[in-house]
Amino acid sequence: MHPLMKYFNNIIETIGNTPLVKLNKLTKEIDALVLAKVEYFNPGSSIKDRMALKMIEEAEKDGRLKPGYTIVEGTSGNTGMGLALAAIVKGYKLICVSTDKQSKEKFDVLKAVGAKVIVCPTDVKPDDPRSYYSTAKRIGEETPNSWYVNQYDNPSNTLAHYQTTGPEIWEQTNGKVTHFVVGVGTGGTISGVAKFLKEKNPKIKIWGIDTYGSVFKKYHETGIFDENEIYPYVTEGIGEDIIPKNVDFDLIDKFEKVTDEDAAIFTRKLAKEEGIFAGNSCGAAVKGLIQLKENFKKDDVVVVLLHDSGSRYIGKIYNDEWMKKNNFKLDI
């Protein structure tokens, strides 16, 4: 590269170094400084680009992934997008297995970047052969020269956030961060960031945002995996009916649950009141931290992570008819 020219060699080099943006209106009732780590600035429009690339790089290093292979993953869309970008640049094929609960836009986007998409039913148990977990695993086993990523249990997922997201938050706040609030799905984001931040300052509080219909909060508080906690819910990207290996419960200080309606309303509010056009789990994260406002002091620096872009939810959260169909208020 010419020394005076500034460009990236390919799209995956642009992953990371996302901005930290102060929330001004939505959190005005909170005394503390609230900063949003806006991850839709990544090239695939979500934080998952970071871990997708890391999982691929680590698999290349130890020979699980070889030139010309097919990458297989169960993904609600964002991880698939990150994998797709890396697969294009590095020359792999990609099969994404997802559920019928996800926004149609997410599938269309994946197809646009060359992935094959297989859709499975949402409302079946994880060990049911029709579930997206089982289907992804089976396709991984049946496809010759393939590698099954398994973001839930793959340690490179957490490692990506330990090596990039955590250090960025530390540097951007000049080490002043006191609380980190984030939605939890595979657990990679919360565990990697928590590990890094707690190594720097063990006093930093790590709060995970969960959904009603997910097992995390009760499991964290009691150690009990309670199947009665599991039922269908609307919020996308967070909450689980399994305990992924990437959730390090020892690093998490608290879980807070947010309703589907509140998550949807606060996603819309983020767009209208802050100009931050983000995804469904981002509204949940912001509402969760507002629910916890009694815990903040004036000098606290709270970082809330916003996982993805609103562009994936045009037909859902940002569609008035969809909101009405779900009996969600349009505004509060």
Work out which of 74, 80, 279, 288 binds ligand PLP, going by CB under 6 A.
279
Q: Work out whether 82 is an interface residue with ligand PLP (CB under 6 A).
A: no
Min CB(3)–ligand PLP separation in Å? 38
Which lies closer to ligand PLP via its Cβ, residue 183 or residue 288?
Answer: 183
Which residue among 48, 205, 257, 316 is the active-site one?
Answer: 48
Kindly state the smallest distance separating residue 133's Cβ from ligand PLP, in Å: 13
Residue 220-259 contact track with ligand PLP, rule CB under 6 A, x = bound: ----------------xxx---------------------
Nearer to ligand PLP, 188 or 288 (CB): 188
Nearest one of 182, 115, 121, 101 to 149, comparing CA atoms: 115
- Taking CB under 6 A as the criterion, the residue among 135, 156, 281, 309 binding ligand PLP is 281
Q: Determine if 186 is a binding residue for ligand PLP (CB under 6 A).
A: yes
One character per residue 2-31, x = contact with ligand PLP (rule: CB under 6 A)? ------------------------------
Residue nearest to ligand PLP (CB): 237
Return the structure tokens found at 87.
Answer: 């697969």
Stretch that binds ligand PLP, among 94-102, 141-149, 178-186, 195-203 (CB under 6 A): 178-186
What residue type is 6 in one-letter code? K
CA angle 19, 24, 30 (to 5 degrees): 110
Closer to ligand PLP by CB, 259 or 300: give it.
259
H, E, C per residue of the chain: CCCCCCCCCCHHHHCCCCCEEECCCCCCCCCCEEEEEEHHHCCCCECHHHHHHHHHHHHHHCCCCCCCCEEEEECCCHHHHHHHHHHHHHCCEEEEEEECCCCHHHHHHHHHCCCEEEEECCCCCCCCCCCHHHHHHHHHHHCCCEEECCCCCCHHHHHHHHHHHHHHHHHHCCCCCCEEEEECCCCHHHHHHHHHHHHHCCCCEEEEEEECCCCHHHHHHHCCCCHHHCCCCCCCCCCCCCCCCCCCHHHCCEEEEECHHHHHHHHHHHHHHHCCCECHHHHHHHHHHHHCHHHCCCCCEEEEEECEEHHHHCCCCCCHHHHHHCCCCCCC
- Which CB sits closer to ligand PLP, 48 or 269? 48
| Residue 48 appears among annotated catalytic residues | yes
275's tokens? 């100009």
Interface region with ligand PLP, contact rule CB under 6 A, candidates 60-68, 95-103, 186-194, 254-262: 186-194
Q: Are 269 and 226 in contact (CB under 8 A)?
A: no
For position 308 contacting ligand PLP by CB under 6 A, the verdict is yes
Compute φ and ψ for 191, nearest 5 degrees.
-70, -40
Count of residues interacting with ligand PLP (CB under 6 A): 19
Q: Given the rule CB under 6 A, which of 97-105, 129-137, 184-192, 293-301 is the region that contacts ligand PLP?
A: 184-192
Contacts of ligand PLP in 100-159 (CB under 6 A):
none
Selected binder of ligand PLP within 16, 80, 185, 288 (CB under 6 A): 185
Residue span 47-66 as binding mask against ligand PLP, x where in contact by CB under 6 A, dash where not: -x------------------
Question: Any idea which residues carry the catalytic annotation?
Answer: 48
Binding residues for ligand PLP, rule: CB under 6 A, are 46, 48, 76, 78, 183-190, 236-238, 279, 281, 307-308
